[in-house]
A and B are shown apart, each in its own frame.
Chain A
Amino acid sequence: MNDDYLWDKTGKPDPQIQQLEEILGALRYQPKPLEIPKDVSLPQRKNYFPWLAIAIAATVLLTILAGGIWLRVRTRDNTPKHEAQVGPPPRVEEKAPLPVDPKPDSRETVVAVNKHRSRSSAPVLSKQEREEALQAKEQLMLALRVTTEKLSLVHKKTQITNPANQIKNQHRVG
């Protein structure tokens, strides 16, 4: 059998194939004009823009919301102030009579407040607060992951991907 002739009509013609072509040629497609009714409108391209815009808006909103929650947890001013308390000075046994100080002891309680320290260093959180903060962080990360996935999905839909295999349910024969 001459495979080349069957394949691309080159090489030595196969008489039996030629005969079949001649006989079956009677059934060949006869050109006819295509009739498209005028009321059938032209197809429109799918517009992915609204989905993209919604996804971006949702992402921004979610990020702002999550960021707000996170900042609120971080900056919550529940940290106890560092106070140095000085109690009354130890009494010295008066063995000898001392001259009486007419002024009252105004330094009986001295409170030193270090205001700058709480601003510059990390707050010391209680165990419960730390757990809350970690939980908020986890929620934020989860929200960002979900948002990233959604954006990725939208991006995939808007792009022409994998042009080699677009046809689904294609019956591959052979």
Chain B
Amino acid sequence: MYATANMLLTSSQAHAAEQSQETAIEVVLVKAVLDGDRDGFTRLYDLYAPLVHGILLARVPRAEVDDLVQDIFLHAFKKLHTLRDSSSFGPWIAMIARNRAVDFYRRSRETVEINDELRGSNTQDSRAAEILELIRNLPEAYRETLVLRLVEGMTGPEIAARTGLTAASVRVNLHRGMKLLREQIGFMEGL
């Protein structure tokens, strides 16, 4: 079972057309973990960490993201038995990540300074932090999709499959979000 999952995992990352295989991987890995295979969860982590990272990056300070990713997967490990549909692991952990981002601001509303946290040491990082800040100022519907596409390098079909959103929604969010981002970048460079 594990070997099969490993094989599927390697092949699924190649192309968006293999999304159905990715769902099969989720099912196999979730069942393996529930049957006592701890390493199966490491595979799930490898597969879904970029998604969780992207969701958090669109919402919380960059310095907090890595720790939160670990926390979220640890929480998911403890609560995996509550997941009813094994093929919905992606949407499930995406929901946990969004909720954790909300909790983060509830707990530390007064102390977070996003702009300062995002400033990088070199020019490239600084430029990246500025654009990320622009993305974060876009309507919520577009932030996450744009970060997953432009930062994490996922394709639209991959974003749809992993987040549980419809392909049409993702496509619209990408298109409109990109249009707004172009306007924002043009406005910023015009100053």
Asked if A and B are interacting partners, one says: yes
Q: Is the CB of A24 within 8 A of B132?
A: yes
Count of chain A residues with a beta carbon within 8 Å of a chain B beta carbon: 40
- Is there contact, CB below 8 Å, between B54 and A34? no
User: Which residue of A is nearest B46, CB measured?
Assistant: A31
- Chain B residues 39-81 with CB under 8 Å of chain A are 41-42, 45-46, 49-50, 53-54, 57, 62, 66, 69-70, 73-74, 77-81
Whole-angstrom distance between the alpha carbons of A34 and B79 in the complex? 16
On chain B, the residues within 8 Å of A36 by CB distance are 38, 41, 74, 77
Pair A23/B78 contact, Cβ less than 8 Å: no
The answer to whether A26 and B124 touch (CB under 8 A), given A8-B16, A166-B88, A170-B164, is yes
Q: A-side binding surface: helix, strand, loop or mixed?
A: loop
Which residues 131-174 of A have a CB within 8 angstroms of B? 160, 163, 166-167, 169-174
Q: Which listed residue, B16, B83, B140, touches A173 by the CB 8 Å rule?
A: B140
9 contacts between A and B (CB under 8 A): A3-B175, A17-B150, A21-B153, A24-B132, A27-B151, A43-B79, A43-B81, A167-B92, A174-B141
B152 with A174: CB separation less than 8 A: no
Report B-chain residues with C-beta under 8 Å of the C-beta of A21. 150, 153
Instruction: Tell me which residues across on chain A come within 8 A of B178, comparing CB atoms.
Output: 1, 6, 17
Contact, CB under 8 Å: B45 / A170: no
> What's the minimum C-beta distance from A17 to chain B, rounded to whole angstroms?
7
**1/0 per position for B1-40, CB-CB distance to A under 8 A?**
0000000000000001000000000000000011010100
Question: 11 more A-B contacts (CB under 8 A) besides A23-B124, A28-B151?
Answer: A3-B171, A8-B155, A17-B178, A29-B69, A29-B152, A33-B42, A43-B80, A167-B88, A167-B92, A173-B145, A174-B141
Task: Please report which residues of chain A, range 18-65, place their CB below 8 angstroms from some CB of chain B when the two chains form the complex.
Answer: 20-21, 23-29, 31-37, 40, 42-46
A174 and B170 contacting across the interface, CB-CB below 8 Å: yes
A20–B177 Cα distance when bound, in Å, is 13
Q: Decide yes or no whether A75 CB sits under 8 A from chain B.
A: no
A-B pairs under 8 A by CB, number: 142
Closest chain A CB from B46 CB (angstroms): 7
**Closest approach, in angstroms, between the C-beta of B129 and any C-beta of chain A?**
8
By size class, the interface of chain B is 35 or more
Q: Is the CB of B172 within 8 A of A174?
A: yes
Closest chain A CB from B153 CB (angstroms): 7
Q: When the two chains form the complex, which single residue of A16, A26, A160, A171 contacts B98, counting CB atoms closer than 8 Å?
A: A171
The answer to whether A34 and B131 touch (CB under 8 A), given A27-B62, A171-B98, A174-B169, is: no
Residues of A within 8 A of B (CB): 1, 3, 6-9, 16-17, 20-21, 23-29, 31-37, 40, 42-46, 160, 163, 166-167, 169-174
Residue with the highest number of chain B CB atoms closer than 10 Å, among A6, A31, A37, A169: A6
Once the chains bind, are A34 and B16 in contact (CB under 8 Å)? no
- Taking CB atoms, residues of chain B closer than 8 Å to A166 are 83-85, 88, 91-92
Q: How far is the CB of B63 from chain A (nearest CB, A)?
A: 12
Given contacts A34-B73, A43-B34, whether A174 and B173 have CB atoms under 8 Å apart is yes
